Amino acid sequence: MMKSIIYLVSDSVGETAEQVTKAALSQFLNRMEHEIVRIPFVKEVAKLESVINHAVHDHAIIGYTLVNPTLRKYMAEKSKVLNVVAIDIIGPVLDGMERYFQQKPELKPGLVHRLDEAYFRRVEAIEFAVRFDDGRDPRGIEEADIILLGVSRTSKTPLSQYLALKSFKVVNVPIVPEVEPSEVLFHVPAEKCVGLKINAGKLHDIRRERLKSLGLKQEASYATFERINYELDYFQSIIDRIGCPCIDVSNKAVEETANLILQMQTPM
């Protein structure tokens, strides 16, 4: 069965178009396999022309949320000429409300989402946390606002994501005795770094549960006290070398640890 393609065009992020389209699709029990292609931030007629031509080639349908009347008119007329099914998702609503309220709409894309500078900082921080998760690339250490250090299972990744939602660029670095940390770590300001320490008993319980969830034997060295104490001693040596503060996460929720870290941060 051929896959149907749905182009969603917007002069903002296109989230409204996608939500409405998915809601409509859910009403078709025998709908064909489909692919949704979102095309956001369209500001020029030339881009609309390109999308319509692609729709002709792909036998696709177009849904659009364009508040700019010039763009809306072009989409409606051009798609009709080329026999492309194009659905104006927001236009009729704007027109109806204009008649009812006897007031012209603002015609500013994205007012619902308020894509201001703070929004983009938060998105950038989230992408940063994902890109540099678990020490994947030491280059992130120099760019980070906060550097989290800890042995395995000290909630480094969820903490990174939580802090990213607060618009901080966060790198988390796993401390493993067999892997020497990047030399960059010892040259960044120590106040950027935060060690996440945990007591051996708590870490033992967490790691045993982790092994169980993976279907592995709980006797694996990963969860033995001997291994855990070895890792914790090595972790402490790295923290002492850097000279950074530490937080005991043994009995703390992610949110509680994050708030303590935020209290350590001076205004950026």
Tokens of 115: 């894509």
- Report the chain (268 residues): mean pLDDT per 10 consecutive residues: 85 86 82 84 93 94 92 95 95 87 76 62 89 85 95 95 93 95 94 96 94 84 94 97 97 94 74
> Looking at residue 211, what is its pLDDT?
92
Q: What is the pLDDT of residue 31?
A: 61
Q: CA-CA distance, 45 to 117, in Å (whole number)?
A: 27
pLDDT of residue 216: 85
Number of H helices, E strands in the chain: 10, 8
Closest to 61 (Cα-Cα) out of 6, 109, 8: 6
Would you state the pLDDT for residue 171? 96
Q: What is the pTM of this model?
A: 0.59
159-179 tens-digit pLDDT? 999 999 999 999 999 999 999
